[in-house]
Amino acid sequence: MRKDVENFLNQAESDLRNAKLLFDNKAYDLVAFLSHQIAEKAMKAYNLKELADVADVPIKIGKRNALKEFISAVNKRYPLSFAVLFGSRARGDALKSSDYDIWY
């Protein structure tokens, strides 16, 4: 297994153990937060493992339609029924170093 995939899965499992402890202590707001983190890390591991060949799709940073071109290239390989940009890039408050959060 790729090291990055293993790292995401290990962190998700650690977060799950902690979420169970927090649940037992009725810290439900933190359980909800960790649940989101667990799902995100598991999805990242899946994407890294199963969609690894998309990693060679070029993203031309700074180009106006870079994200649209990236989604189009991915769609050619894996037909998408939808793609949604969310997070700081969608809100318009991203930093230069911010990543792109895409739900598909």
Nearest in space to 104 (alpha carbons), one of 88, 87, 86, 82: 82
60 vs 23, residue with greater confidence: 23
In the chain, what percentage of residues exceed pLDDT 90?
38
For 53-97, write each residue's pLDDT tens digit: 665 566 665 666 778 888 888 888 888 888 888 889 889 998 888
**Boundaries of every domain in the chain:** 1-50, 57-104
Q: What angle do helix axes 3-24 and 28-50 make, rounded to 10 degrees?
A: 160
Nearest in space to 69 (alpha carbons), one of 84, 59, 78: 59
Helix or strand holding residue 88 (H, E)? helix 88-91
Model confidence, pTM: 0.58
Helix or strand holding residue 101 (H, E)? strand 101-103
